[in-house]
Structure 1
Amino acid sequence: MTSQFKVSNLTKTFGSNTIVDQLDLDIQDGEFLVLLGPSGCGKTTTLRCIAGLETPEGGSITFKDNTVFDASTRINVPAYKRNIGMVFQSYALWPNMTVRENIRYPLKVRRMKSAIAAGQVETAADMVDCGALLDRYPSQLSGGQQQRVAVARGLVARPDLVLFDEPLSNLDARLRDQVRSQIHQLHQRLGFTAVFVTHDQAEAFALGDRLAIMKAGKIEQYDTPERVYQTPSSDYVAAFIGMANRLELVRRHEGWTTRAGAPVDLDAAGVQGDYISGDTAVGRLRPEDLALHHSLDEVRAGDVGFVGELVTSEYGGRYFDVTVDAGGEQLFVRADAERHGRWLRAATIGSPLVVSFSPTKLRVFPHPDGHVDLQVPVLAQAARSEA
């Protein structure tokens, strides 16, 4: 695949606030790119700049061989001339138009009479399983049906680029999964180029060929979903993609330990000595990387174990989401319900338990503050070593 769409040094401000900060993107032909990040990180503003719905203060945007925006030369092609399809969070269907008329609208404004005559409207409706709804009005449709119609409208003119602005966030969980799967199938079948904005990591991993994870108007990591999941580039990215457990690590004369004093073998975790500058670091773990035990004797040799107290446990079907206070560290564990369910249902707040993890599961990053506050209560902790 070759790069067909480029965003270079894009900057957008509102008043004194910089929302998009010298951002660069290259979008390959046929690629499904996901802009992922929390509210306020600049992802929707970036999308609106690409669409021509916002005017940046700096940078350039190129579609294939055509510059559609360049602040230095004052080129700014209006949105209706950029040959894009847009799918909005709010559906944005015309309430006084039928489904047929809503889907046909992009063809009508582009004066694509031959496409209308060739049945492109009906083809687009059939692609999203809405062929039987063409004569209905939006008020007669469910939320999922309305969003599928919006997707058909975004694709019907076969645009150079399709932009999705959190299109699934207004749907309930079941419909969200269905429409997400349908968008994925359409992309695999049609191969259109897309930029998709979301704050939901499950959507991003399921749909994206690449992810651009944003923070404060900048890209923190730009990579495939697999590499983002396996090797997050920073503590921020690790936290955002579900590594909810954060351990502050300290280099002492006897080696690295947690803030509460439990030894951690960073060599076993594969951390290079020069990766961390100074004597502090941050370790990240997913809830499923931790295990529950009744006592430290059950912790495997080489693993790090904490004695702690139960804060809460929440039933999730095949698992329990368990929160543990372990020597001042709050840890989140996803525990197998078949193995631990009877015990967790009977346990009360404050019940003693042990949590452990393998150092190989740990992802370690430089500490953002450069120091760790060691003034915390210590219950008890241990690291099992090879006999």
Structure 2
Amino acid sequence: MKRVLVLMLAGLLSAAAVFGNGQQASGSGDTVKIAVALPMTGDNAEYGQSFLTAAQIMVERWNKAGGVLGKQIELVIYDDKNSAEEAASIAQKIVSNKDIIGVLGHFSSGVSMTAAPTYQENKVIEISNCASHPDYSKIGNYIFRNNTVISEEFKVVVDVVANDLNLKNVGIIAIKTDWGTTAGGIAADYVKSNNKLNLVAYEQVLETSDDYTPAIAKLKAAGAEAVIAVGMYSLYGPLARQYKEADPKIQLLGVSNAYTQQIIQLGGSAVEGLFAPVSFFAESPDPTVMEFVNEFKKRFGMEPSSLAAQAYDSIGILLEAIKKAGTLDHEAVRNAVNNISYPGITGPTTFDAIGDASKTFQKVVIKNGKFVQY
């Protein structure tokens, strides 16, 4: 895995020409600049690197067609390491560069929410492709999410347990971060509000842990038939292996960030049967989806996740808004984003008054070592 990361990083550096300190990805002339502020190193680097790859594909597509407003598009890349402290510093650097019209970032909800007030105060558009905390977009009218509030995902997950799988006793295991605590609590509320389900146990674990056996023992003792896992992809593989050893019949379910090939690589046969709700499915026969998937696989070595696809669409949304506004005036572009109807690879996307995207979910499950539609 480390060798794969090194090779992917080398490819990204070659494509971007810079890394980590906000230097331009290419050129320095009369260009439209968009910042990318994501974890390029650290525990969540594979997420950040995959989102950057998706952003680069979109920018290159526009640049080959002539750019936007007669100018080429330039990505300005920052490594926030998924750290709130780093993100706060980077946000100040981004807003001090008056040529930057908007930013794709940040990764986790907590980090995004740390940086967002700076963007809002300076009228720099922030579009996060993965922030799901309910309060994120409420920070201001320049703050958008091309993702849904996490509660929308749990509606689908709970429906799968109650109506597709016809199970009753549900456990929850969530990572002990700001996002994990909030999301886990929302999941618990949805389970408890469904009259077909019983919430039998709720456990929190450290994000950096790889031993989940104490939490598993409590969930198993409580009689959990299905367990909703709330975490990043690094949670699912070890959790599945350890849980299947304790209870081979357990049904595991995740959220949209579970839809990534890394889970299959880390979990092997133990993740067979894992469900997740997604706004994007890489096996779609749609020609625009196939074109993106093929190019992404060529560059990154694996299929894109739904979050990577949302990063691709996020850049497209911002560029289309600039085109519709006919100007780089921040307020005009912000208004265009808010009123956009974008036919992306993650489905038709519109934003409500507070900047939340509307998405339609598909249900996917791991079967015979790959994700398939359920």
Task: Select the structure that is richer in helix.
Answer: 2
Task: Select the structure that is richer in strand.
Answer: 1
The TM-score normalised by the length of structure 1 is 0.28
